[in-house]
Structure 1
Amino acid sequence: MHVPDGFINPPVSAVAGVVAAGAVAVSLRGARRELGGTSRSSGAENGGERTAPLAGLVAAFIFAVQMLNFPVAAGTSGHLLGGALAAILVGPYTGVLCISVVLLMQGILFADGGLTALGVNILDMGIVTTVVAYALFRGLVGVLPRTRRSMTVASFVAALVSVPAAACAFTLMYWIGGTTDIPIGKVFTAMVGVHVLIGLGEALITALTVGAVIAVRPDLVHGARGLAAPLKLRVDGELVDAPAPTPEPTPAPAHRSTRGLWATGLITALVLAGFVSYYASANPDGLEKVATDKGIDKEAKEHAAKDSPLADYGVKDVSNARLSGGLAGVIGVGVTLVAGSGAFYVVSRRRRNDDDAGHRTDEKV
């Protein structure tokens, strides 16, 4: 659903950019709490050293999976938007930043999504999907049993709804600032219809990924905080919940290493982007198909980065399509990982410095 330059007029694109910039600024503050940090005053690790690289990995993984267009209808494909996945794994504020990093890399390096439409894309694909998905996810988790299965079901539903919600958001922006005169009812029906189907693919990918991470490291999933499977006892051949033990104060356990999960995630992202992406559907995605069918693309502009060495997810001057696309995917994963991890480390470091400054002030008082 990457919106190219020319679909939305400059005034509305500018307003969307201002709103997106404000949301990113708010997310930077919120991400400090989600990413945590290490306070020298307590000598304990609160999460920043672990979660900043993992948040960068989430951004790189989303970049990789977005290269895997899947068929959804005759002549139409879809791909992961990623807002729900990012919000559930690393938190809604950090999730907005993850998607923003991905969209920035795609726009600058791969000529995917217009540069003047960057604010539109961040607002649509990053903010709307993240806010809608996480709000719905938290609502479902609040009424469902706190089990791994419930978390997976909630992530499925949240991801499913987030995609047509993004389609509605685009339709609204097009209604206000579209550059072609197309009846808005036709745009709405076509956009929502095809993106409900794409939402099913998004939901499946999100649920499988969240379920896999919860199965091995529920402590690293933001949306699964406090999740604990009850102890089971076998009584007369049946499994029943054991009585809850009386809580006793115990020393905080040392954090488990995240290196195994990080390495597995990185290898998976590299394989998806470098190899599996070659077999992705070549059909236009939902927005491209609707734009062509309804005439929305009449005023589309050439991308400012169309001459980039990585434009259209291929390496310039590499004639072999499989090798060109694979190299571009691997480069994209690497660049997104470095950019995301670096940004998130700075955010978590800022939180850590703020904590230490507050502690020193308390000591003086």
Structure 2
Amino acid sequence: MALGCNIWNMGFYACFIAYPLIYKPMVKENSTVKRITIASVVSAVVALQLGAFSVVLQTKLSGISELPFSKFLMLMQPIHLAIGIVEGFVTAGVVNYIRSVEPALVEHRATGGGFRKAVIALSILAVITGGVLSWFASTHPDGLEWSIKNIYGKTELDSTPSGIKTEFQKIQEKTALMPDYSFPSSDDESGSDAWPAPDPGTTVSGLVGGAVVLAVVVLFGVVLFKWKKKSYSHVKR
């Protein structure tokens, strides 16, 4: 259920609301650095605000938490506003870089040298980020944890799994190859709050996770391309 909520909160709003209804109309065909930057920031802010509101609403509807709706909402929205602004500028930086090496890739489809250059550069950055920079991930609470902490004084709520939730938790514990983005260990990790935290498990999970996501995206892209091509051929006939 958590995975489904995350896909909706972080994927649906960005891909099906922010991008087609905000980013594309703002950028249009004559994209400029300024226009891309503004559109990226606005789109990211809107997507995160909608996602943050959905988290609060889903928590309320789930009935498994006594978080006060109004107070939770008033904490979630401002912190995700700040996060959205930062993510918007990061997105703008990536898009503007791609535009600088292969402008047609931002607006249309390109397969030239600029396309290969962009793919290579972004792949290298992804490997560095997932393999090394992940060691420097903040140990401070994220937006959701920060909001919960400001209500209850701690980042996680006490809960007693029961019923189907208990069964799914057992399955997860048995099948998770790298729980908490690291290799399973029976040792007491007393220094888990250390920063930075060089860990081969973190590196492997970052690289493998990135590769899996890339493989899924490529697979869906190939399937959609073939489906679109097949549909077009039928219409043409």
TM-score normalised to the size of structure 2?
0.78
The residue aligned with 1:265 is 122
- In the alignment, is the contact (CA less than 8 A) between 2:182 and 2:202 conserved in 1? yes
Q: For 2:177, which of 309, 314, 323 is the aligned residue?
A: 309
SS of structure 2 residue aligned to 1:297? coil
The residue aligned with 1:168 is 53
- In the alignment, is the contact (CA less than 8 A) between 1:314 and 1:321 conserved in 2? no
Alpha-carbon deviation of 1:120?
1.5
The residue aligned with 1:280 is 137
Q: 1:353 to 1:328 in 2, by over 3 A?
A: same
The yes-or-no answer on 1:256 pairing with 2:133 is no
> Which structure: greater helix fraction?
2
SS of structure 1 residue aligned to 2:24? helix
Report how many residues are paired.
215
- Pick 1 or 2: higher relative contact order, CA cutoff 8 A, min separation 6: 1
In 2, Cα distance between equivalents of 1:357 and 1:194: 49
Q: 1:203 to 1:178 in 2, by over 3 A?
A: farther
Alpha-carbon deviation of 1:255?
4.4
How much identity, in percent, do the aligned residues show? 25
SS of structure 1 residue aligned to 2:56? helix
Q: For 1:336, which of 201, 207, 213 is the aligned residue?
A: 213
Q: 1:193 to 1:266 in 2, by over 3 A?
A: same
Counterpart AA for 2:158? K
The yes-or-no answer on 1:297 pairing with 2:157 is yes
The yes-or-no answer on 1:136 pairing with 2:22 is yes
Counterpart AA for 1:179? I
Q: Equivalent residues in 2 for 1:1-365 (5 A)?
A: 116-134=1-19, 135-141=21-27, 146-221=31-106, 224=107, 255-257=111-113, 258-295=115-152, 297-299=157-159, 301=161, 303=169, 304-307=171-174, 308-316=176-184, 321-359=198-236, 362=237
In 1, Cα distance between equivalents of 2:10 and 2:144: 12
Counterpart AA for 2:203? G
- In the alignment, is the contact (CA less than 8 A) between 2:130 and 2:210 conserved in 1? yes
In 1, Cα distance between equivalents of 2:30 and 2:232: 35
Q: 1:182 to 1:139 in 2, by over 3 A?
A: same
SS of structure 1 residue aligned to 2:157? helix
In 2, Cα distance between equivalents of 1:353 and 1:225: 20
Alpha-carbon deviation of 1:182?
2.7
TM-score normalised to the size of structure 1?
0.53
The Cα RMSD (Å) is 2.9
In 1, Cα distance between equivalents of 2:224 and 2:160: 36
Give structure 1 regions of 4+ aligned residues with deviation exceeding 4 angstroms: 300-304, 317-321
> Which structure: greater strand fraction?
1
Alpha-carbon deviation of 1:269?
0.5
Q: Structure 1 stretches of 5 or more lacking a match?
A: 1-115, 227-253
